Amino acid sequence: MSEEFKSGFVNIFGAPNAGKSTLLNALLGEQLVITSHKVQTTRHRIVGILNDEHYQIVFSDTPGVILEPKYKLHQKMMAQLKSALEDADVAILMHDITEPVENFEAIAEALNLKVPVILLLNKTDLLKSEAEVTVRVQQFHTKYPAWKVLGVSAKTNAGIDRVVPLILEQLPEGFPYYPDDSVSDRPVRFFVSELIRQQIYELYHEEIPYHTAVIIDAYEEKTSLTVIKATIIVSRETQKIIMIGKKGSMIKQLGINARKAIEEFVQGKVHLELFVKVRPKWRDNENYLKEYGYNP
């Protein structure tokens, strides 16, 4: 007799820079979502699919919870988070284990989760001992007794193998939602734009990455290589100058780094052309946000 098949939606929530994207990559065993040590890297709700003979888990990596949105872009990000709240079968909440319970309470309250919750206290690698981890886990378990609480390190994979079994305890029986070879519901073009954006986070500093959006203008698969043309949107002329760099040095380096990352992702040769355009206050402009794919 065949075992029951489980399937469902598991959505990952938490503060900016709690390690949600790193966790999703660790659970899927591949670099699907861009990560950075800078906060608010994830702007879209990104689905990653984990397939097994006995289950299909549809994960959503959501933007970090912004309690006081500053721009229309932030509002769009929070609208995506709200939609993720509505269709979750199980919620994974992530919190930096080095941060006290008090710093987490406002986020837990804002999310107001009505589904089973697994609270992952991330970054255990930053604590000195296992005893310290146990104390912190117990503090959160006392505060939220109905939740499963686990100390993990998404960066070093410590404790990650215990996450899926916890999910399966809560996941309903059902049929797969996607074909068993699916990794995400997003097209390749989306991940290409995200990979370029990740390299912007790596290469540029301070406010520059937060003022940029990446649009894929052309994506053409030829016999021996893929030709990609992309435009980087910035808010001000001074930012465009920084993006391009002295004699084009920065944009050239960005192109090299992004091309390597994309080649690894598509498993083939890539010809990449990058352009920079100024769109003042694009983060607060409804038309630009729609054009750049930031729909609620």
- Is 244 found in the same domain as 121? no
- Is 193 found in the same domain as 136? no
Tell me if 21 is assigned to some domain: yes
Tell me if 246 is assigned to some domain: yes
User: What's the whole-number mean pLDDT along residues 237-248?
Assistant: 92
- Is 119 found in the same domain as 66? yes
- Is 285 found in the same domain as 224? yes
Q: How many domains does the chain have?
A: 2
How many residues appear in the chain?
296
- Is 264 found in the same domain as 133? no
| Structure tokens belonging to residue 209 | 């990455």
- Is 214 found in the same domain as 74? no
Tell me if 175 is assigned to some domain: no
CA angle 150, 154, 160 (to 5 degrees): 50
- Is 135 found in the same domain as 222? no
Question: From CA 92, how far away is CA 8, in angstroms rounded?
Answer: 13
Three-state DSSP class for residue 168: helix
C-alpha torsion 68→74→75→81, nearest 10: -90
Question: From CA 189, how far away is CA 164, in angstroms rounded?
Answer: 29
Tell me if 14 is assigned to some domain: yes
H helix or E strand, kind and range, residue 174: none
Query: Which CATH number is 197's domain given?
Result: 3.30.300.20
Please, how many CA atoms are within 13 Å of residue 106, restricted to the half-sphere of its CB?
A: 8
- Domain of residue 45 covers 6-170
22 pLDDT band (50/70/90 cuts)?
Answer: confident
| Structure tokens belonging to residue 171 | 């996941």
- Is 208 found in the same domain as 165? no
34 within 8 A of 203, measured Cβ to Cβ = no
Q: Say yes or no to pLDDT of 194 above 90.
A: no
Tell me the pLDDT of the chain averaged across its residues.
83
265 within 8 A of 191, measured Cβ to Cβ = yes
Last residue of a domain, one of 170, 202, 237: 170
Check residues 84 and 202 and name the one with the higher pLDDT: 202
Tell me if 270 is assigned to some domain: yes
Question: From CA 219, how far away is CA 213, in angstroms rounded?
Answer: 17
Three-state DSSP class for residue 223: coil
C-alpha torsion 102→107→109→111, nearest 10: -160
- Is 136 found in the same domain as 30? yes
H helix intervals, 87-187: 102-111, 130-143, 163-170
Which amino acid appears at position 6 of this protein?
K
pLDDT tens digits, 107-142: 888 787 888 999 999 999 999 899 999 999 999 999
Last residue of a domain, one of 107, 136, 170: 170
Tell me if 178 is assigned to some domain: no
CA angle 74, 80, 86 (to 5 degrees): 140
Tell me if 177 is assigned to some domain: no
39 pLDDT band (50/70/90 cuts)?
Answer: very low
83 pLDDT band (50/70/90 cuts)?
Answer: low
- Is 125 found in the same domain as 31? yes
Last residue of a domain, one of 136, 170, 204: 170
Rg (CA), the chain: 20
Query: Which CATH number is 118's domain given?
Result: 3.40.50.300
- Is 60 found in the same domain as 195? no
Tell me which residue has tokens 């589904």: 115
Tell me if 78 is assigned to some domain: yes
Nearest residue to 214 via CA among 249, 228, 296, 14: 228
- Is 212 found in the same domain as 134? no
41 pLDDT band (50/70/90 cuts)?
Answer: very low
User: What burial letters (b/e) apply to 58-76, b meaning 16+ CB within 10 Å?
Assistant: bbbbbbbbbeeeebbbbeb
Strands ordered across the beta sheet of 117-122: 46-51, 55-61, 6-14, 90-96, 117-122, 148-151
Tell me which residue has tokens 């959501």: 62
User: What burial letters (b/e) apply to 90-101, b meaning 16+ CB within 10 Å?
Assistant: bbbbbbbbeeee
